[in-house]
Structure 1
Amino acid sequence: MIKIATAECFTHGKIGRELHAIAQSYEGNFGCEYVENLQDYGDFDYGELSVTCSLFIPTIEAVVKILNVENPPKPDMLIKGIKVYDEAGDKKVSKIMAQAVKDLSDCDIAVGTTAGVGRGAISVITDKYEITLTTDVYADLSENDSEALFKRSENGIAKALEITLLLLNRRIDKIRSLENVEITEK
């Protein structure tokens, strides 16, 4: 069994929900919204996947108190406690969030997401790889443009699922060929 956990901000826990639907083979209203054909990614047996937890972590306080991160990077600004970083800060914090939820849950694959000003960031961490990527959509959380924020979130969910499914199917070369993706082998 491969265990997965998420600590999500701008994707609102939807990555974890989607992975849970895949792992449980749910269909219809409770099924997957973002992935049409799992066979497009490979022949991994998704019955061997278990979602340990999926956390919605928008605030700096939650990063500290729930994820047990002692000294997270200081946000560029706070909006009702919600952490706002630039794109470089988002990349750093998404890695911190993914590693923290991995450590807390003892999972095999951890996903962290956060987005303030810029394209946002997604990190997928395993014992072997650290994969960080951005969305294709620019948005600024401080501008409160819900349409742009929604588009960035949707793109982030789709990209995180694509990376995770490719990773489960051992298609690292395909991940390396994607734009805006950084892979570090541990």
Structure 2
Amino acid sequence: MIKIATAECFTQGKIGRELHALAQSYEGNFGNEHIKNLREYGDFNYNELSVVCSLFIPTIEAMKKVLNVENPPKPKKLIKGIKVYDEAGDKAASKIMARSIKELTDCNIAIGTTAGIGHGAISIITDDCEITTTTDVYADLCENNSEELFQRSENGIEKALEIVLLLLNDDLDKIESFENLEIR
């Protein structure tokens, strides 16, 4: 069984929800919104997945108290406690969030997401690798433009899910072809 846990900000726990629906073979209204043609990713048996937890972590306080992050990166700004990083800060924070949820849950795959000003960041961490990328959509949380924020969130959900599905199907070549992606 492969266990997955998420600590999400701008994707609001939807990556975890989608993976849970996939793992449980849910269909219809309770099924996947974003995952469609599974066959194009490979033959992985998704019944071998289990989502341990999917957390919505928008605030700096939640990073500290829920994820046990003692010294999170200092945000550029706080909006009602919500952390607002620039893109470099988002990358650093998403890695910290993924590492923390991995340590807390002892999962096999941990996902952290956060986005303030810029393209936002997604980090996917396993025992063997760390993948960090950004969305393809620029938005600024301080401007409160709901449509841009929504588009960035949707793009982040889709990109994270695609990377996880490719990872589960051992298709690192395709993952490495993504733009704005770092693998360690």
Q: Give 1:39's aligned amino acid.
A: R
Q: Following TM superposition, by how much is the alpha carbon of 1:39 offset from its aligned partner in structure 2, in angstroms?
A: 1.0
Distance 1:35 1:61 in 2: 32
Distance 2:100 2:108 in 1: 13
Moved over 6 A (4+): none
Distance 2:130 2:36 in 1: 26
Q: Give 1:130's aligned amino acid.
A: E
Partner residue of 2:87? 87
Distance 1:19 1:37 in 2: 14
Q: Following TM superposition, by how much is the alpha carbon of 1:178 offset from its aligned partner in structure 2, in angstroms?
A: 1.1
TM-score (norm 1): 0.98
TM-score (norm 2): 0.99
Partner residue of 1:150? 150
Matched, 1:28 2:41: no
Q: Following TM superposition, by how much is the alpha carbon of 1:37 offset from its aligned partner in structure 2, in angstroms?
A: 1.2
Q: Kindly report the root-mean-square deviation, in angstroms, between the aligned alpha carbons of the 2 structures.
A: 0.4
1:95-137: per-residue Cα shift (whole Å, max 9, x none)? 0000000000000000000000000000000000100000000
Q: How does 1:29-108 map to 2 (within 5 A)?
A: 29-108=29-108
1:59-107: per-residue Cα shift (whole Å, max 9, x none)? 0000000000000111110000000000000000000000000000000
Partner residue of 1:138? 138
Partner residue of 2:8? 8
- What percentage of residue pairs aligned between the two structures are identical? 76
Return 5+ residue gaps in structure 1 as ranges: none
Partner residue of 2:182? 182
Aligned length: 184
Distance 1:170 1:64 in 2: 34
